[in-house]
Amino acid sequence: MTIASSSPPSRLPLGSAEGGLTKSRTDRRGAGESRGDGRLAAVFIAPALLGFVVFLLWPTLRGIYLSFTRFNLLTPAEWVGFDNYVRMVHDPIFWNSLKVTVVYVIINIGVQTVAALAVAVLLQRLTQSAVLRGVVLTPYLMSNVVAGIVWLWILDTQLGIGNEIIAGLGFDRIPFLADETWAIPTIALINVWRHIGYTALLLFAGLQAIPNDMYEAAKVDGASEWRMFWRITMPLLRPVLAVVLIMTVIGSFQVFDTVAVTTRGGPADATNVLQYYIYGAAFGRFQFGYASAMSVALLVVLSAITFVQYRLTRAGQTDLG
């Protein structure tokens, strides 16, 4: 659920992991449960554990293993040591893809975070309407494929209503998805359109945890909405904002669908994001080893970013209470 990405974003609940674990320890002293439930638990846990091991744990380890092999699906994987990684470091298209992806993430996350925060605050301070919350969520119900196609049509240079309006206002038509400079910002904004409501609702959840008395007290002291936002909302929302930011960045890095239906990596590799390049290496050229190596690189980049963000934003701590 990569909030901002085209793929199912990695879902992260807002509660901290440690909180969950300590809780499970405390309920160990439940009444009338001195005997274990080993056999029953084994039955209950079996399907999920099977799925976890076969489709999550094993593929993760296997992906790392495959990155050290030459593998075309037809013949068995052949161990080649660090060859794929050496090739990756010397591959200009890989570096271009990484750069394009980073530019995409910066625009996508930058615009989306500010806009979603604005929507969340409006939903909190202006109206508590559940209907409006439902409305802002509607684009999230579309697939990235649908969102991509719709905006491809709206922004079409000749027939799109977007360009009709631009031309009507007396400006030159903009080839949004066919121009090297415009393509990435355009894709980034299409995905903002789809994910803004979801991100806003997550932030809205964080805002609901801020006691209303604080705003009432500030108002009595004559504080303006603007001042309350910076002095109350922002400091108290910070932990939630930090977690949402980590989730959305991870999601954003995995962008694929929108590129696949709108620009297909073009023009001239201008939108050849990392995941699209990886897909091409695996399914276009059957270089599964090389594709796996680039996947591992993406995994490392994401882990590093998550770690740094977590440290910088002190995501685990709260100022509330």
Partner 1 sequence: MAAVAAPTTQTTDIRPARRRLSPGRIVAWAVMAAIVLVTLLPFYWILRTALSTNSGLAASPGDPLPVDMTAGGFERALGLQSTKEAIAQGGAGGGLKFWRYLLNSVVVSTIVTVCQIFFSAMAAYAFARLRWRGRDKVFALFLAGLMVPTIFTLLPNFVLIKELGLVDSLLGIALPTMFMTPFAVFFLRQFFMNIPREVEEAALLDGAGKVRIFFRVLLPMASTPVLTLAVLTYITSWNDYFWPLMVSYSDTSRVLTVALAIFRAQTPQTGTDWSGLMAATLIAALPMLVLFGFFARRIVSTISFTGIK
Scan residues 145-184 and list those touching partner 1 (CB under 8 A).
145-146, 149-154, 156, 158-161, 164-165, 168
3-state secondary structure of 177: coil
- Minimum CB distance to partner 1 smaller for 70 or for 133: 133
**Cis? peptide before 76, omega within 30° of 0:** no
Using the 8-state DSSP alphabet, how is residue 69 labeled? E
How many residues bind partner 1 (CB under 8 A)? The answer is: 129
Residue in 76, 92, 130, 172 binding partner 1, rule: CB under 8 A: 130
| Range 290-319, binding partner 1 (CB under 8 A) | 291-292, 295, 298-299, 302-303, 306, 318
Residue in 14, 89, 217, 312 binding partner 1, rule: CB under 8 A: 14
Using the 8-state DSSP alphabet, how is residue 57 labeled? I
- Minimum CB distance to partner 1 smaller for 8 or for 110: 8
CB-CB contact of 297 with 82 (8 Å) = no
CB of 219 to partner 1, least distance (A): 10
Considering only the stretches 53-61, 87-95, 103-111, 177-185, report the one whose residues sit in contact with partner 1 under the rule CB under 8 A. 53-61
CB of 153 to partner 1, least distance (A): 6
C-alpha 155, offset from chain centre: 24
Run of H or E including 114: helix 92-125
* Residue 64 CB partners (closer than 8 Å, separation 6+): 292, 296
Residue in 4, 197, 236, 273 binding partner 1, rule: CB under 8 A: 197
- Minimum CB distance to partner 1 smaller for 165 or for 308: 165
Residue type, 186: T
| Range 201-230, binding partner 1 (CB under 8 A) | 201-202, 204-206, 208-209, 212, 225
| Range 253-282, binding partner 1 (CB under 8 A) | 253-254, 256-257, 260-261, 275, 278-279, 282
Closest of 215, 192, 217 to residue 3, by C-alpha: 192
| Range 93-122, binding partner 1 (CB under 8 A) | 118-119, 122
Residue in 182, 193, 229, 310 binding partner 1, rule: CB under 8 A: 193
Residue in 91, 125, 269, 310 binding partner 1, rule: CB under 8 A: 125
- Minimum CB distance to partner 1 smaller for 9 or for 265: 9
Any contact of residue 92 with partner 1 (CB under 8 A)? no
C-alpha 1, offset from chain centre: 6
CB of 250 to partner 1, least distance (A): 6
CB-CB contact of 77 with 71 (8 Å) = yes
If one counts every other C-beta atom within 10 angstroms of the C-beta of residue 265, the result is 20
The burial of 76, by beta-carbon neighbours within 10 Å (0-12 exposed, 13-18 middle, 19 or more buried), is given as: exposed
CB of 56 to partner 1, least distance (A): 5
Closest of 165, 247, 164, 161 to residue 203, by C-alpha: 247
Phi first, then psi: what are they for 114, rounded to 5°? -65, -45
